[in-house]
Amino acid sequence: MSQDSPTASTPPPTPQGGAWGGSRPPADSSTNGLAAGGTVFAGIMLFVSGVLAILQGIVAIAKDDVYLTTPAYAFRFNLTSWGWIHLIIGVIAVVVGYGVLTGSAWGRVTGIALASLSIFANFMFLPYQPVWAITLIAIDVFVIWALASYRPTDDAEALL
């Protein structure tokens, strides 16, 4: 048997970046650069929005009459409950924002999950602070995009 025959024992080459194996296809450098900058922004925004959520939670826990109350709202909670929800999300966001800025994979994955959770929490908080809730929803969408599309290189260090 010759080496050129189709019955040779060499396996066929596997495609790279396909759905069934191989490595990821190389990322477009302009998209990856934008996503890397977006990831730094996402880490900073997670950290800052975490601090603001902590303050928002403390205000809602300490003084219920600061926020507007909406009667007959389908997702109505006691404002003290909203305060605890925002306080817990805020503390987690500060830790995850630090994880994203240090370049850890767990920070990116947890950041996506936390930003998704934050979208739902801010949607339900719309009647109490509509402009702020919509602003945070838009920022969370960008955070999810930046964290999901960033492909660090093997020798990548901390983002800052």
Please check whether residue 156 lies inside any domain of the structure. no
Residue 52 has pLDDT above 80, yes or no: yes
Q: Residue 124's pLDDT is what?
A: 83
* Chain centroid to CA 73: 28
Q: Residue 79's pLDDT is what?
A: 76
Residue 70 has pLDDT above 80, yes or no: no
Please check whether residue 47 lies inside any domain of the structure. yes
Residue 57 identity (one-letter amino acid): G
DSSP structure string for 111-142: HHHHHHHHHHHHHHTTTTSHHHHHHHHHHHHH
Please check whether residue 116 lies inside any domain of the structure. yes
Give the mean model confidence (pLDDT) for residues 73-81.
73
Domain span at residue 33? 29-66+73-149
The model carries a pTM of: 0.67
Please check whether residue 21 lies inside any domain of the structure. no
Give the mean model confidence (pLDDT) for residues 116-125.
86
Q: Residue 147's pLDDT is what?
A: 87
Q: pLDDT tens across 3-33, in order?
A: 555 555 555 554 554 444 545 555 555 555 6
Q: What's the burial of 129, exposed, middle or buried (CB within 10 Å: 0-12/13-18/19+)? A: middle
* Chain centroid to CA 26: 23
| Spatial distance between the Cα atoms of 115 and 99, rounded to a whole number of angstroms | 14
Please check whether residue 117 lies inside any domain of the structure. yes
Total structural domains in the chain? 1
| Spatial distance between the Cα atoms of 112 and 133, rounded to a whole number of angstroms | 18
- pLDDT tier at 111, thresholds 50, 70, 90: very high
Residue 96 has pLDDT above 90, yes or no: yes
Please check whether residue 12 lies inside any domain of the structure. no
Average pLDDT taken over every residue of the chain: 76
Please check whether residue 58 lies inside any domain of the structure. yes
CB 128 within 8 Å of CB 70: yes
Please check whether residue 101 lies inside any domain of the structure. yes
Tokens of 73: 């709202």
Closest CA to 113 of 82, 136, 90, 143: 143
